[in-house]
C-alpha cells in the first residue's frame, strides 16, 4: 500500500468527492491537505458553489479535465456510484478515506484495474 500511496501522490490533478465548506469536517481537511501538497484540486459537492474561492463541481463528469486521481470522503453507496464514472473517464487512481470504502467498491476497483487506496487516511501521510 505504501508504494501505491507514493504513486498516487505523484499526480498533480485531483478531484475530491465530498468536499465540505466546514473546516472541522474531513471533506474540507482533505481538500486543504491536497492543496498544501501543491496539487490542483477540483472539489465535488452538489450542494456548494465555491469553497475558499474555488469553484465546486456537481460531479466528476462536469470537470474541465480528467484528474489523475479521485479522493472519496462520502458514504460507501456514493463511492460505489461515482466509481462507475471513474471507470468511464479512464481514471486509474482512487483513494477511499476511512468510512467511504466498501467491499463492493474495493472489488469494483480490482475488477476494473483501478488502483485503490483504502483503510488509510491521507491526513496521516506527511507532507513533503
pLDDT tens readout for residues 1-36: 889 999 999 999 999 999 999 999 999 999 999 999
What's the pLDDT score for residue 128? 75
What's the pLDDT score for residue 1? 81
Instruction: For residue 89, give its domain range.
Output: 2-124
Q: What does the pLDDT average to over 55-83?
A: 97
Contact between residue 60 and residue 44 where contact means Cβ atoms under 8 Å apart: yes
Q: What does the pLDDT average to over 30-59?
A: 96
Got the DSSP string for 39-79? -EEEEE-TT-SEETTEE-BSSGGG-SS--SEEEE-S-HHHH
pTM beyond 0.85: the answer is yes
Which band of pLDDT confidence, cut at 50, 70 and 90, is reported for residue 66? very high
Domain count within the chain:
1
CATH number, residue 80: 3.40.50.720
Amino acid at each position: 500500500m505504501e508504494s501505491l500511496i507514493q504513486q498516487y501522490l505523484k499526480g498533480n490533478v485531483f478531484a475530491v468527492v465530498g468536499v465540505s465548506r466546514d473546516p472541522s469536517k474531513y471533506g474540507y481537511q482533505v481538500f486543504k491537505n491536497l492543496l498544501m501538497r501543491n496539487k490542483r484540486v477540483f472539489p465535488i459537492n452538489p450542494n456548494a458553489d465555491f469553497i475558499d474561492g474555488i469553484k465546486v463541481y456537481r460531479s466528476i463528469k462536469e470537470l474541465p479535465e480528467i484528474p489523475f486521481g479521485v479522493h472519496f470522503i462520502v458514504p460507501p453507496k456514493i463511492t460505489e456510484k461515482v466509481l462507475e464514472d471513474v471507470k468511464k473517464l479512464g481514471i486509474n487512481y482512487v483513494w477511499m478515506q476511512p468510512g467511504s470504502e466498501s467491499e463492493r467498491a474495493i472489488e469494483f476497483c480490482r475488477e476494473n484495474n483501478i488502483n485503490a487506496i483504502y483503510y488509510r487516511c491521507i491526513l496521516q501521510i506527511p507532507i513533503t
